[in-house]
Structure 1
Amino acid sequence: MDGASVEWKTLGETLVRTKGTNITAGQMKELDKFGAPLKVFAGGRTVAFVNFEDIPAKDVNREPSIIVKSRGVIEFEYYDKPFSHKNEMWSYHSKNDAVDIK
């Protein structure tokens, strides 16, 4: 890449930041169902699998995304199935086919 030109852009110019759903740890535990299709991410490594009707449709993300985990274990996770996350976290996806989010 020596001598290659680079176009620098802010994250907000390149990716779409999405919000999660308003859900408590207690609600996640109550709604968690074995084999349910929708993964809900929470802080650290906490997740729940819920049915689509368990959370508002507007809070379901169907784009391949990078989830930014911000509590307990701080890390990034790529996920390419429908999901949501607690609203204190965030995720990013791209609407530009030239950007490989993975």
Structure 2
Amino acid sequence: MRVEALAATFVVEVGIRQSWPFLVVADASSGAEARLYLDATWSLGDSSHEASEDTAWLVAAAELNGENIVDARQGSDGSLTLMTSEGARLTVSGQAAHYTVGEPWWLGR
């Protein structure tokens, strides 16, 4: 799934897999799902955290569960920003942190 295609999805799951926070989105028309993994600094609302802050991710991301993604953009700096229909904004840095083992964020199945 391409970043732009995330704008027509809704969040069906949030969680942590090993050391990576993630959220799963589904396309309402096809049912196709994609998982967004985070391995860099992220912000949701007024709070900003590192990917390793598991509890902060679970508490903050819970508000995204069930939300419709209405805008998805990759910045020129590699960052990713998702906006929900309720006005929540998730931004993931495009810059690797000292703990990043691969890309700062990526989409998987």
Could you say whether these structures have the same fold, taking a TM-score greater than 0.5 normalized by the shorter chain as the test? no
Larger radius of gyration: 1
Query: How does the TM-score come out when normalised to structure 2?
Result: 0.26
Task: Report the TM-score, using the length of structure 1 for normalisation.
Answer: 0.27
Q: Say which structure is richer in strand.
A: 2
